[in-house]
Structure 1
Amino acid sequence: MTKPIYVLNGPNLNLLGTREPEIYGHDTLDDIRDALLERVDGRTLEFRQTNSEGELVDWVQEASRDGAAIILNAGAYTHTSIALHDALRACTVPVIEVHLSNPAAREAFRQTNYVAPAATATIAGLGPRGYHVALDAAIRMTA
């Protein structure tokens, strides 16, 4: 049996569709999940969201052990979490970082990124489409 691809989402992504739609768009996290499930091509997805840093770290560790790849939108933890960075550095599977917006073109505090140095690839600024690109890449990387 093929291992699942983990799609892990961090804080406030449960508010997609209503939180700053001019930046993040109108699609909800459920919309993104449903669109990915249509594209998964026979693979299994573990799609999760948490506002808890510790839970996200636990899921990264689980995905490294039990998954084929990780698609990660760490939200604000991208810019603050050394614990998440350390968990990602220990990963044995590809990690694709996704951002709906382009953090490099935003506020100064978003310029610090603890995820990118531990990620296989980064996709930013494509809105929800970035998840599709990440899924295609994860499938190719783990075929």
Structure 2
Amino acid sequence: MPGAIHILNGPNLDLLGLREPHIYGHTTLAQVEAMCRDAAQGDLLFAQTNHEGEMIEMIHAAFGTAAGIIINPAGWSFRSIAIRDALAAFGGPVIELHISNIHARDAAHRDSLISPVATAVIAGLGAQGYPVAMDALYRLIS
């Protein structure tokens, strides 16, 4: 299988398990990473940033090296044209992932700018969405 899978996490996901557990659950980002490493079928890059420019650099770093990207853009889903454009330029499969069902949320958390450039969108499965996204991505790249 060519290249690693890159799992990229956006702002405030470092607070997963603590921040609004009624929406995002009690699973920490470290626990999510452990689940992903257990499900990995090859090389895996797992990263999180609270800085938009750093996220764009991580997407650029995937060009030509990653087999695919799973991204939880968090709040940038609804505001960042720059991340949308970086993902559109990637050229490989991109799965947009959300822990909550953004389509059932308030207006500020409902309409993703990322979805139109994503190969697929997974939302509302909680932390279990990550291994589901990995399985889907492996199927797309095989």
The DSSP-based 3-state class of the residue aligned with 1:68 is strand
Alignment of 1:15-94 (within 5 A): 15-41=15-41, 43-94=42-93
* Alignment partners' CA distance in 2, 1:121 and 1:91: 14
Partner of 1:140: 139
Task: Give deviations 1:19-56, integer Å, cap 9, x for gaps.
Answer: 01111001101101101111112x11100000000110
The alpha carbon displacement at 1:95 in A equals 0.2
The code of the aligned residue for 1:56 comes to: M
Number of residue-to-residue matches in the alignment: 142
Which ranges of structure 1 fall in alignment gaps of 5 or more residues?
A: none
* Alignment partners' CA distance in 1, 2:104 and 2:17: 21
The code of the aligned residue for 2:109 comes to: R
Partner of 1:122: 121
* Alignment partners' CA distance in 2, 1:110 and 1:64: 29
The DSSP-based 3-state class of the residue aligned with 1:90 is helix
Aligned sequence identity (%): 46
The code of the aligned residue for 1:40 comes to: A
The code of the aligned residue for 2:51 comes to: S
Partner of 1:96: 95
* Alignment partners' CA distance in 2, 1:7 and 1:62: 12
The alpha carbon displacement at 1:63 in A equals 1.2
* Alignment partners' CA distance in 1, 2:63 and 2:5: 10
Task: Give deviations 1:101-138, integer Å, cap 9, x for gaps.
Answer: 01111111112311100100000000011111100011
The DSSP-based 3-state class of the residue aligned with 1:113 is coil
- Could you state the TM-score of these two structures normalised by the residue count of structure 2? 0.96
The DSSP-based 3-state class of the residue aligned with 1:70 is strand
- Is residue 2:10 matched to residue 1:10? yes
The code of the aligned residue for 1:24 comes to: Y
Structure 1 runs, 4 residues or longer, greater than 3 Å off? none
Alignment of 1:101-116 (within 5 A): 101-116=100-115
* Alignment partners' CA distance in 2, 1:104 and 1:37: 28
RMSD (CA atoms)? 1.1
Which ranges of structure 2 fall in alignment gaps of 5 or more residues?
A: none
